[in-house]
Structure 1
């Protein structure tokens, strides 16, 4: 049943589960459905695709989604359910004949919409994105071991990611962005070997991103918007993992440590020079002031030096003047 992209409103009718118990695909995306998800929908145990995205649905996610036993089965029995072509009876002008019908539907797959036909039965999808859902993500959903796509993005969900999320070994696409999830990313998520599309951005997640080849292969943008989340592929280091700042080379080839050492040497050089000058100056001045004989000898030395300089300059001046006159 694909009723997507219409203008249906009000609540999702509960009679769907009563009158169509063998329903395999239920697509109600891009409508105006409101109210909460009816618990009766959990009676659709053969359901493989549930798409309620892009509506105005509120309330919590039912905890009975583990009743979707077809999604809980990891074995692929799609060939028994989807042959691609179905023979159906048609009636025209009182004549009955057999025609062909091809199963096809638009399905959100890894952030984009694709039209699936014959391979529609290979998918096991729960898409509840772009609604007004509140509360926690039920842990019962992790018992759907055959689930391939889980999208609960753009809601108001809170709480932690279920610790048993690693049980969904077949999961290839997981989007829980733009909610209010908190706590650490479960370490079991590193066990999702088929996961090729993961978006956890814009939540309140914290702690270190679990280390695995799978998780570190994603882009940092898939984790942004979580202020206290750290570790690769994010550039933000976790507490205790900060590495000491390495010395960077300056323009002349020296390092910052060398520059720091030079600055330290200059500082102590000037301090030492100042102290030495003060000690020497006051040592000499105090000795001249206190000892009269030294003071007389000092000033006599200055007088002699003055006379020697005067005589030397006078003699050199006269000699230069005579040489100048001879040249004329």
Structure 2
């Protein structure tokens, strides 16, 4: 931005030198201040001058970041590529922000009324005390600039200030580990008599008594907006109600620890139009006095404990544009709730979120009167029946989520009238044999996300003509327990902009069309075709084959085979099909960013595990159980340091357990059961302290003593299965330090000696401690303790002791799992 200036006036030499001194204290890696040369500082980037006097009135050096990465990333990350997006953002931020020390030379700018240094990085420095001496300031924005320490009370001298934003990075988990600002006394705010906007989001209020900050804020009679999100506020002072804030239009108290009923004094804020109370511990019912809030347009009470009765709405709910009651305890008929709006001649509601409550009954036909709705979220309630025919009236609707209810009726043809619909989410309902036709879809020209997942097999049957071309271009398609097969549908092959594809248990067979794969491979991030009847060579998914011999020659992995490239693929799930042939050696070239690979339960995938898999450094989940993989499990896993889950069970692998698996220090689950492995359990696994499940059963030739480090370095275990091997010796006493253990099977080995008395410490086996999370990638449901069976009596003498002290631990194995 080039400042405004008079052609007849240049900035004074005093102000120019002041700005040069300010610049000299800063580090500027992106050269944002490169224009700060020459005599006329009014022409410098970020500087604005008075048109007549030429005096500097404004400094705006906020960091706009790159157009490729939004600052909103600070509130979360991309779960598909967390390592990539987070790294990219940090690098981008470091390249574009200003660093260094702020010079007191700014005091020479006597007419400075606006200062914006937001979204920079001042490395945890305190806010300069002399900012409180910039008497002409009307606008001060220091948000997200990595200041820390106590906010200086001298800011209270800025009696002309209209706008103050000191909000800071509250989401430390996903952004930089910065020290936040804090206050110990907020009385200094009383001096900001002209303040209209105050944002202290993320500033720690834990050392301030509620009466202190509430009395201070209550004196700001001109205040229009107050943002106090994530300030560690835990309570209110009932004697310090905001009685003087009659002009307040926006109040944000979200993401605090407020544990109380919704205060009655909120109803005194008669000018309020936006009220955010989300993510607190508010309880009880909505105050009846809320009917006084006649100007309320945005109300967010999500993630609290409010409910149990029908909510009390403002006297004129017809003005509400956003209503978010998600994740509360409302238990009322949905029809009764919607009747609260029945007197509206024109309903203004644009966003309605009732998700994760206990709204019951059918979705009423009165839904059709909410004609301005853009967003409707009914996820996770107790609704049944059909979508009403009136849903076709919601022609402005862009987002619809009806997931996780018990809907079991029909989807009307009027659904096809939602011409602005962008996202439709329909997971886990009780639909059964519902036919979806072209009429349901024909006008959905803007549809980008389309999901159908039912509790019943073939809950939806797609009856669409083979030559139909949809009007939409989907980016996300999720179909599960639907019937779209047996042939891969033509209408689906027209969807070439897909990024996230899940077609699990949809009855498709044969092969995946090569042309469709080649059209989507460059952008797809998720490809899940599990639980179908695909019958094709695995190489046809990875290799550009000779189209004249597309199937017959596809097993011949020639040295000059050209891989099909999936540069953005993160999740590949081909589980439980009829795929055959070896895993192509070009897999790393094809999918360099792959995080999850699931080829399990195809039974006909054979050959060795290619070495290229073992250099996929983003791979976190590797599932290839129940196939015919063979060859030696060679010790070359050192580059797979991000692995969380390894499941190679039920194959024909041989050799020793690779010691280099221990380099995957985040490993959570290791399943190698029913192979032909031999040797001892490698000591390197003790570096995998996060292991919750180890299953090495049925290898027959694993031997040696049971490792004592399992009870020392790997104490988080829930499941340990070493049955049907050749282990010898005794159970180490160190194993007593496994408080979370729920499944232990040591049967069919050559163990001897007595069981340690301290096995009473296995409280999870006795009490059923915890849940099934971590027991396996596919959760095992049988909890048992077994060290002896009918063919191994070496330690039978100690079982009598256990049956007295730990009777609930003895649950005999019924079948293999």
Q: Shorter-chain TM-score: which interval?
A: 0.5 to 0.7
Compute the RMSD of aligned alpha carbons.
Answer: 2.4
Farther off after superposition, 226-235 or 190-199: 226-235
Which residue in the other structure is 1:172 paired with?
692
Question: Is the alpha carbon distance of 1:210 and 1:176 closer, same or farther for their aligned partners in structure 2, counting shifts above 3 Å?
Answer: same
Which residue in the other structure is 2:665 paired with?
145
- Kept in 1: contact 2:618–2:642 (CA 8 A): yes
- Kept in 2: contact 1:205–1:229 (CA 8 A): no
Describe the SS at the equivalent of 1:26: strand
Which residue in the other structure is 1:272 paired with?
none
Deviation at 1:8, TM superposition (A): 1.1
Matched ranges for 1:158-169 at <5 A? 158-169=678-689
Deviation at 1:217, TM superposition (A): 7.6
- Kept in 1: contact 2:689–2:715 (CA 8 A): yes
1: CA distance, partners of 2:716 / 2:743: 19
Q: Which has the higher contact order (CA 8 A, sep 6+)?
A: 1
- Stretches of structure 1 that go unaligned for 5 or more consecutive residues are 72-123, 243-328
Match of 1:128 among 648, 652, 664: 648
- Kept in 1: contact 2:598–2:623 (CA 8 A): yes
Which residue in the other structure is 1:195 paired with?
717
Question: Is the alpha carbon distance of 1:230 and 1:131 closer, same or farther for their aligned partners in structure 2, counting shifts above 3 Å?
Answer: farther
Question: Is the alpha carbon distance of 1:127 and 1:26 closer, same or farther for their aligned partners in structure 2, counting shifts above 3 Å?
Answer: same
Question: Is the alpha carbon distance of 1:217 and 1:230 closer, same or farther for their aligned partners in structure 2, counting shifts above 3 Å?
Answer: farther
Describe the SS at the equivalent of 1:69: coil
| Mapped pair 1:228 → 2:800 | no
- Kept in 1: contact 2:720–2:744 (CA 8 A): no
- Stretches of structure 2 that go unaligned for 5 or more consecutive residues are 1-571, 760-786, 799-817
Deviation at 1:230, TM superposition (A): 4.2
Deviation at 1:164, TM superposition (A): 2.7
- Kept in 2: contact 1:21–1:43 (CA 8 A): no
| Mapped pair 1:34 → 2:606 | yes
2: CA distance, partners of 1:203 / 1:216: 25
Match of 2:674 among 154, 176, 186: 154
| Mapped pair 1:183 → 2:704 | yes
TM-superposition CA deviations, 1:123-151 (whole Å, max 9, x none): x1000000011111011111111000000
1: CA distance, partners of 2:664 / 2:574: 25
Deviation at 1:216, TM superposition (A): 8.7
2: CA distance, partners of 1:9 / 1:230: 47
Q: TM-score, normalised by structure 1?
A: 0.53
Which residue in the other structure is 2:729 paired with?
207
Deviation at 1:219, TM superposition (A): 7.4
- Kept in 1: contact 2:600–2:626 (CA 8 A): yes
Question: Is the alpha carbon distance of 1:168 and 1:214 closer, same or farther for their aligned partners in structure 2, counting shifts above 3 Å?
Answer: same
- Kept in 1: contact 2:729–2:750 (CA 8 A): no
2: CA distance, partners of 1:170 / 1:8: 33
Question: Is the alpha carbon distance of 1:218 and 1:230 closer, same or farther for their aligned partners in structure 2, counting shifts above 3 Å?
Answer: farther
Describe the SS at the equivalent of 2:628: coil
Matched ranges for 1:254-293 at <5 A? none
2: CA distance, partners of 1:206 / 1:216: 24
Deviation at 1:228, TM superposition (A): 3.2
Corresponding pairs, count: 188
1: CA distance, partners of 2:660 / 2:703: 19
- Kept in 1: contact 2:717–2:741 (CA 8 A): no
2: CA distance, partners of 1:39 / 1:25: 17
Describe the SS at the equivalent of 1:17: helix
1: CA distance, partners of 2:593 / 2:651: 26
2: CA distance, partners of 1:49 / 1:144: 12
Which residue in the other structure is 2:620 paired with?
48
Deviation at 1:64, TM superposition (A): 1.8
Match of 1:68 among 640, 646, 657: 640
Question: Is the alpha carbon distance of 1:229 and 1:67 closer, same or farther for their aligned partners in structure 2, counting shifts above 3 Å?
Answer: farther
2: CA distance, partners of 1:136 / 1:129: 14
TM-superposition CA deviations, 1:273-321 (whole Å, max 9, x none): xxxxxxxxxxxxxxxxxxxxxxxxxxxxxxxxxxxxxxxxxxxxxxxxx
- Kept in 1: contact 2:692–2:716 (CA 8 A): yes
Question: Is the alpha carbon distance of 1:53 and 1:229 closer, same or farther for their aligned partners in structure 2, counting shifts above 3 Å?
Answer: farther
Describe the SS at the equivalent of 2:642: helix
| Mapped pair 1:19 → 2:542 | no
Deviation at 1:12, TM superposition (A): 0.6
Q: Which has the larger radius of gyration?
A: 1
Moved over 6 A (4+): 235-238
2: CA distance, partners of 1:164 / 1:208: 21
Question: Is the alpha carbon distance of 1:4 and 1:46 closer, same or farther for their aligned partners in structure 2, counting shifts above 3 Å?
Answer: same
Describe the SS at the equivalent of 1:182: strand
1: CA distance, partners of 2:743 / 2:592: 43
Describe the SS at the equivalent of 1:134: strand
Structure number with the higher helix fraction is 1
- Kept in 2: contact 1:28–1:52 (CA 8 A): yes
1: CA distance, partners of 2:642 / 2:613: 14
Question: Is the alpha carbon distance of 1:194 and 1:27 closer, same or farther for their aligned partners in structure 2, counting shifts above 3 Å?
Answer: same
Describe the SS at the equivalent of 1:57: strand
Describe the SS at the equivalent of 1:164: helix
Q: TM-score, normalised by structure 2?
A: 0.22
2: CA distance, partners of 1:178 / 1:8: 25
- Kept in 2: contact 1:164–1:188 (CA 8 A): no
- Kept in 1: contact 2:719–2:744 (CA 8 A): no
Which residue in the other structure is 2:629 paired with?
57
- Kept in 2: contact 1:37–1:57 (CA 8 A): yes
2: CA distance, partners of 1:172 / 1:186: 16
Which residue in the other structure is 1:318 paired with?
none
